[in-house]
Structure 1
Amino acid sequence: MKPGPLRRIGFRLCAWVLALPVLAPVLWLASAGGTPAPEVWPHLWREVLPQAAVNTLGLLALIAGIALPVGVGLAWASARYEWPGRRFFDWALVLPLALPGYVVAFVYVGLADYAGPLQGAWRALGLPAGAFPELRSVPGAALVLALVLYPYLFLITRAAFLRQGSAAMDAARMLGHSPRSAFLRAALPLARPAWVAGLSLVLLEALADFGAVSILGVDTLATSVYKAWFGLYSLPAAAQLALGLVGVVALVLVLERLGRGRARHADRQPLPPPRRRLRGWHGWVVASFAGAVLLLGFVLPMAQLAWWSWQMRADLPAVGEAARNTAGLAMMATLLVLALSLLFVVLGRRSGGDRWVRAAGFSAGLGYAMPGTVLAVGAMWWLVAVERGHPWLATLALSSSLAGILLALSARFLRVGHEATEAAFDLLRPSLLESARLLGAPPRRRLLRVALPLLRPGLIAAALLVLVEVVKELPATLMLRPFGWDTLAVKVYAYTSEGLWQQAAWPGLWLCLVGLLPVWWLVRQQG
């Protein structure tokens, strides 16, 4: 039943009132153009931006060149062929998603140091020390990030290949194409919406990365925002750089849309296509490649973290306060995001799917495509403007409290909570509640006995996904935290900034273990 005109207006007003504070960090950056920083910009143009822009473009190109063949190739092998260990690798290849990029980066930097095992083995083989590949470079950063981010391509593209069935490949083979040619000219173009979407996710995550590139000594546009604020002490310049980074993000999204064109996902087939068994050395080559990717992207970093943590086990209490701060921040941000998600979903359904209400919910989730550095600068810029415009709010010190972190995290991860909550409500069919009402159950009983049991798994999944993202978030927490208030992610950054790889192992290991929770849930969903 459609609501009346007045109720529709009320629903729209409520939705946009909820959306505007979450949108404020990004929208307020538009005012940065009117606040130039002439003493800072000459230095930025001369010393920072040219190299940062070149590094960013080179990093994105190299990550695409590594992650695309790895992710798509493994997805095709998993969806269409049977080879040794295929069932194990179907879920194991997702595990690198659990590891924050900055944790994997400092593990490999520690391993590749002059006194580390990799360079030690290199010299033991009689090879010249100067010829050892430099990890702290754009190619090194691209390799590390590609090892962490390729599962996005693997998951999305594998699902598309399974939906295709075998008709396209069979038709191409009947026309005389070889298996490789049939894949390139039939299967891959049909899956274009999937692998383009997966690649755009990889590039957006790489564009937003701050911790890994900082540890690896690569200046990008994301680190330039941080340097303008904390190195040159110019919040206006940081806001202007953040606004430019928003433009780069928008360009990636436009290219992703153009890359898809008018293509759509293939229709779902009644059953997955039959897998062809790879016999002899062919199957072992695929298994060896998958094992090497898993070893470099998950097993080796986790094993080294565990070894360093065991060596530094006496320092466990040193991260106790950071762990408590992390848990408290994660709980507050998760509850806030979950409450906003529930309100948007309920408003959308009570309004009968009103397009303006849906637009408010969609707009509020746009922050998920924004780097944490952008949202941090936008949140601080807005809070400072609010305090200047309303002096009585200055006594609350919003800009130097947890309010800025919660605002940035809500804008960053509302889309995650909203989509998971919407999926939970899709299971709540109106006929079930109507049946309970016809059986005489009062509203409170219908809520407790019918609605909540159906919503609980989806809401728990939403809370879990948001909580883990908040725990791993580095730039927004680092840039907005009150003085002396550290989280596990900030501890990792502080230790690695001083080259203390072993001391960073404990907080890094805890972050990875927490990150395994949503991956475990994802693997269960796949099963």
Structure 2
Amino acid sequence: MAKIELAEHGTRNRGALGTRFVGCIAYIVAAACLLPMLAVVVAAVTGGTDTIAHLLSTVLPEYVLTTAILVLLVSAGTFSVGVGAAWLVTMTRFPGVRFLEIALVLPLAFPAYVLAYAYTFILDHPGIVQSTLRQVMDWGPRDYRFPEIRSTEGAAVMLILVLYPYVYLLARAAFLQQSATAFLAARALGNSAWAAFWRVSLPMARPAIAGGVLLAVMETIADFGTVAYFGVQTFATGIYTSWFSMADRAAAAQLASCLLVFALVMAVAERTQRGKAKYYQTGKRHAGMGAAQLNGWQSVAAFTLCSIPVLLGFLLPVFILVQMGMDSEQDLFSRRYLGFIRNSLLLAGTAALVTVCAAIGVGFFQRLRPGRGSNMAAYLARLGYAVPGGVIAVGLMVPFAMFDNTLDAWMRQNFGISTGLLVTGSIWLLIAAYMVRFLAAALSAYEGGLSTVHSNMDAAARSLGQTPLGTLRRVHLPILTPSLLTALLIVFVDVMKELPATLIMRPFNFDTLAVQAYRLASDERLEGAAVPSLVILAVGLLPVILICRQVGRR
């Protein structure tokens, strides 16, 4: 009996130690996610008022106006395209609808800046479209006016084409879950199909649609590559210009704090509307929405409307990039490009592993000790998805640069040794930025899988003598392998596409495919930029294929 009690006591001690260990990891991760935001605010407040006064009198009004216009255009565009396509493929049947309901997800694989390179190549003044117009119509350069692709409107179109799948996926899921009872009741009361959609189906799907639009808005304010290439002055480009071109850390921090406030307001709005806006099916019968068969010109119109986003957002850009890449002098298998690929894979792979491990720590601690502390840690861990990469980069560079400078000065004074920059400009600080930025995506995938693991499994494992870490290793992780692989893949692809944080924080002479594509495009070498862009696109297709498989199964 004494031996049994001693064994049980040892198991309890190991269990308590394991719980404290997981809790420490969760709180460290939460603190790491909070650090860049606090650092940005502190740097902005202590930076003095001269810089912000100068910004207010010069560029800040333009940043505010341009960012607001871009947000409004992308919101309206993603709503119109995403909801319209979701309604057509869900509620109607026409030739090609099964293909289109999957193909409409494909533009999600494109980073917006890659799409910008492709369309600039054909729509700019020396591009094939304007050149053909001048040749066929015998026009001179001043004989016609062509829409300028390098503009705020052009950037909005690029963002709409790659971000509407967020709205499409959520709206389609909402329409599929609706019962036909309310819709048919509206029709029986004399409403047309369009009026019934507008008055009944659309309000019932509003929480999902609003969530998709707000996700698109947050991606819009975080975008740097597209607006920088098009010369559109937004907060994202202002942060980069202040940090590098003007070497004004205070201005960068103050601009980042403005963008941080806007992003957090959007995040709170998204969570608030998702939490409060609920619609319930009160009837006892749940009849699925019947799809109407379209014929004649109606089927042609529906097919055309659903095909345009796929054509403009995926098929045409891929064709353009392949043609550009074939005409370029870039050798994908050269030693230099193999270095870009190696750096990209190293960063993406390491960041994915670190981020998923952090998500496991935060999510498992919330499972072990549900309460205010674990819930707060999980909430702070999710903040990064609402914060642009440039803000996170500034928020991490400011305190760690101060730490490195202080340590170097102390070592010089006391030991005559220069430590240099130990943290700033290192790969690990860049990986920490990726972890903060994309932890929410990994945590969502992990929690989605964890919801399928019944609490009775935990109780059974503990009754058999397993510690919390043993339960995680022997019960949870084998069951959650598909969810964890999905999280790894999502973070891997997001890191491959991330541009602003990589540009600001990458170590010296450590370039990635995204940086190389941006550099070549900035030098107007668009054919060369197509080669790394195609590799980024190919990697980005992997999670989109998984999403397409899920859509096809449904």
TM-score (norm 2): 0.88
**Alpha-carbon distance in structure 2 between the residues aligned to 1:23 and 1:167:** 47
Aligned to 1:132: 146
**Alpha-carbon distance in structure 2 between the residues aligned to 1:399 and 1:90:** 46
Give SS of 1:136's match. Answer: coil
- More deviation in 110-119 or 251-260? 251-260
Do residues 456 (structure 1) and 473 (structure 2) align?
no
Q: Which deviations, in whole Å up to 9, do the C-alpha atoms of 1:366-388 show, x marking residues without a partner?
A: 01111111111001012123334
Do residues 234 (structure 1) and 259 (structure 2) align?
no
Q: Which deviations, in whole Å up to 9, do the C-alpha atoms of 1:282-336 show, x marking residues without a partner?
A: 0110101111111101111111111222223652224211111001111111111
* Cα distance, 1:26–1:439 mapped onto 2, change above 3 Å: closer
Do residues 506 (structure 1) and 523 (structure 2) align?
no
Give SS of 1:176's match. Answer: coil
Do residues 517 (structure 1) and 542 (structure 2) align?
yes
**Alpha-carbon distance in structure 2 between the residues aligned to 1:361 and 1:143:** 35
Q: In the TM superposition, what is the alpha-carbon distance from 1:34 to its structure 2 partner?
A: 3.3
- More deviation in 117-126 or 471-480? 117-126
Give SS of 1:405's match. Answer: helix
Q: In the TM superposition, what is the alpha-carbon distance from 1:60 to its structure 2 partner?
A: 1.1
Q: In the TM superposition, what is the alpha-carbon distance from 1:426 to its structure 2 partner?
A: 2.5
* Residue 105 (structure 2) aligned to one of 84, 94, 111: 94
Judge conservation of contact 2:401–2:421 (CA < 8 Å) in 1.
Answer: no
* Cα distance, 1:346–1:440 mapped onto 2, change above 3 Å: closer
* Cα distance, 1:145–1:266 mapped onto 2, change above 3 Å: farther
* Residue 175 (structure 1) aligned to one of 189, 213, 229: 189
Q: Which deviations, in whole Å up to 9, do the C-alpha atoms of 1:216-235 show, x marking residues without a partner?
A: 11111111111111111011
Judge conservation of contact 1:200–1:252 (CA < 8 Å) in 2.
Answer: yes
**Alpha-carbon distance in structure 1 between the residues aligned to 2:33 and 2:312:** 38
- More deviation in 384-393 or 280-289? 384-393
Judge conservation of contact 2:445–2:486 (CA < 8 Å) in 1.
Answer: yes
* Cα distance, 1:447–1:484 mapped onto 2, change above 3 Å: closer
* Residue 57 (structure 1) aligned to one of 64, 68, 76: 68
Judge conservation of contact 1:107–1:301 (CA < 8 Å) in 2.
Answer: yes
**Alpha-carbon distance in structure 1 between the residues aligned to 2:357 and 2:548:** 27
Judge conservation of contact 2:330–2:528 (CA < 8 Å) in 1.
Answer: no
* Cα distance, 1:342–1:259 mapped onto 2, change above 3 Å: closer
Letter in 2 for 1:521: L
- More deviation in 442-451 or 428-437? 442-451
For 1:100-115, list aligned pairs within 5 A.
100-115=111-126
* Residue 211 (structure 1) aligned to one of 225, 232, 249: 225
Judge conservation of contact 1:156–1:198 (CA < 8 Å) in 2.
Answer: yes
Q: In the TM superposition, what is the alpha-carbon distance from 1:32 to its structure 2 partner?
A: 1.6
Do residues 122 (structure 1) and 119 (structure 2) align?
no
Aligned to 2:343: 325
Judge conservation of contact 1:160–1:266 (CA < 8 Å) in 2.
Answer: no
**Alpha-carbon distance in structure 2 between the residues aligned to 1:30 and 1:250:** 13
For 1:349-498, list aligned pairs within 5 A.
349-351=367-369, 353-391=370-408, 394-395=419-420, 397-431=422-456, 451-498=476-523
Judge conservation of contact 2:393–2:501 (CA < 8 Å) in 1.
Answer: yes
Letter in 1 for 2:67: T
Gaps of 5+ in 2: 1-11, 412-418
Letter in 2 for 1:154: Y
Q: Number of paired residues? A: 524
Give SS of 1:90's match. Answer: helix
* Cα distance, 1:321–1:270 mapped onto 2, change above 3 Å: farther
Q: In the TM superposition, what is the alpha-carbon distance from 1:163 to its structure 2 partner?
A: 1.0
* Cα distance, 1:503–1:192 mapped onto 2, change above 3 Å: same
Q: In the TM superposition, what is the alpha-carbon distance from 1:256 to its structure 2 partner?
A: 4.1
* Residue 145 (structure 1) aligned to one of 146, 154, 159: 159
Judge conservation of contact 2:405–2:421 (CA < 8 Å) in 1.
Answer: no
Letter in 1 for 2:253: A
Aligned to 1:295: 311
Q: In the TM superposition, what is the alpha-carbon distance from 1:431 to its structure 2 partner?
A: 4.4
**Alpha-carbon distance in structure 2 between the residues aligned to 1:361 and 1:448:** 21
Give SS of 2:290's match. Answer: coil
Give SS of 2:38's match. Answer: helix
Q: In the TM superposition, what is the alpha-carbon distance from 1:36 to its structure 2 partner?
A: 2.4
Judge conservation of contact 1:208–1:371 (CA < 8 Å) in 2.
Answer: yes
Aligned to 1:281: 297
- More deviation in 486-495 or 402-411? 402-411
Aligned to 2:96: 85
Aligned to 1:338: 356
Aligned to 2:416: none
**Alpha-carbon distance in structure 1 between the residues aligned to 2:106 and 2:97:** 15
Judge conservation of contact 2:22–2:361 (CA < 8 Å) in 1.
Answer: no
Do residues 154 (structure 1) and 168 (structure 2) align?
yes
